[in-house]
């Protein structure tokens, strides 16, 4: 099986896991459940659960405890997208080729759907405690994800991003936003996969360093695609950064230097992965695959 076929298979598996965790669309809360499921099943690369499962497999993980964490991570990510698209934040009408949740269900239900997704993520991940696994590893993974998703991670990065919208910020602040708003969940995905498989503290730290670079490269690629991408291909509104007067890496450095930085970060990530005494072939190919999106 070549890389493209393998990636398609891994993504399809992640999709099946999400569907098993969908909210039941019935009773008085049917509309909210429909909005939650609409948001979660709108499509996407499913990058975070794919990275999580591959890191888990790399370190010898073979059980099912990874599955609730894969579903939970995608729910956390989707919650952030639902809220990010709201008029109070980025005010986007298109996400993954479909109307954003607030356009489909209204702002109030979209806010509640985002909240419900975040809560459901922890409900699903907590179910791992009922599995025949090392509960200490489950607790460590859950604690890490909670930290990376909160004020010291994704939400903290989003707050700095929103607070400084329309302002020209310096590179230090921009990289803080990228490290937290984007890289934090990628770090959480890969680190929790390693933790659940029983990787050593040193190995988890190396995974964190690689994931940080993967996240930074991914965000700079998104900056580039917001300028040169096609809406029909990307499935979301382009030029939204310009519309919202956002400082991006491309604004500070231009397209050519931004692409060079993507290459540099990708090379550093691959080099870190090679330090691990495990087979990182698929992960290396996937990291390069993500970087090639900006060409």
Q: Tell me: the pLDDT tens digits for 16-29?
A: 998 898 889 999 99
Other Cβ atoms less than 10 A from the Cβ of 104: the count is: 17
Q: Which of 292, 289, 294 is nearest to 54 (CA)?
A: 289
What confidence score (pLDDT) does residue 241 get?
56
- Does 110 have pLDDT greater than 90? yes
pTM higher than 0.85, yes or no?
yes
Mean predicted lDDT score pLDDT of the chain: 92
Domains of the chain and any CATH numbers: 3-294 (1.10.600.10)
Alpha-carbon distance 202 to 155, whole Å? 27
Using alpha carbons only, what angle is made at residue 35 by residues 103 and 156, rounded to the nearest 5 degrees? 80
What confidence score (pLDDT) does residue 14 get?
93
End-to-end CA distance of the chain: 25
Q: Which of 112, 142, 119 is nearest to 34 (CA)?
A: 112
What confidence score (pLDDT) does residue 230 get?
60
| pLDDT tens digit sequence for 76-97 | 999 999 999 999 888 889 887 7
Alpha-carbon distance 271 to 278, whole Å? 13
CB contact set of 123 (below 8 Å; sequence gap of 6+):
none
What confidence score (pLDDT) does residue 196 get?
98
Alpha-carbon distance 113 to 180, whole Å? 23
């Amino acid at each position: 099986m070549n890389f493209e076929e393998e990636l398609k298979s891994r993504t399809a598996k992640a999709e099946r896991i999400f569907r098993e965790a969908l909210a039941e669309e019935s009773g008085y809360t049917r509309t909210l459940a429909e909005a939650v499921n609409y948001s979660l099943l709108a499509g996407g690369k499913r990058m975070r659960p794919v990275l999580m499962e591959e890191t888990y497999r790399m370190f010898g993980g073979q059980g099912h405890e990874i599955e609730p964490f894969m579903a939970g991570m995608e729910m956390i990510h989707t919650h952030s997208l639902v809220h990010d698209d709201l008029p109070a934040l980025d005010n986007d009408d298109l996400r993954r080729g479909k109307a954003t949740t607030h356009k489909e269900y209204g702002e109030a239900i979209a806010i509640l759907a985002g909240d419900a997704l975040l809560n459901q993520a922890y409900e699903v991940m907590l179910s791992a405690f009922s599995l025949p696994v090392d509960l200490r590893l489950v607790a460590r993974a859950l604690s890490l994800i909670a930290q990376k998703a909160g004020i010291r991670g994704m939400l903290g990065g989003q707050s700095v991003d929103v607070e400084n919208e329309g302002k020209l910020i310096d590179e230090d602040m921009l990289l803080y936003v990228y490290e937290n708003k984007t890289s934090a969940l990628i770090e959480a995905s890969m680190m929790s996969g390693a933790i659940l498989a029983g990787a050593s503290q040193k190995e988890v730290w190396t995974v964190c360093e690689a994931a940080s670079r993967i996240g930074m490269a991914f965000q700079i690629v998104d900056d580039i695609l917001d300028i040169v991408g096609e809406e029909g291909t990307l499935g979301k509104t382009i030029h939204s950064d310009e519309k919202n007067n956002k400082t991006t890496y491309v604004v500070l450095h231009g397209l050519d230097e931004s692409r060079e930085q993507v290459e540099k970060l990708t090379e550093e990530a691959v080099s870190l992965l090679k330090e691990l005494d495990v087979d990182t072939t698929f992960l290396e190919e996937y990291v390069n695959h993500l970087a090639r999106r900006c060409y």
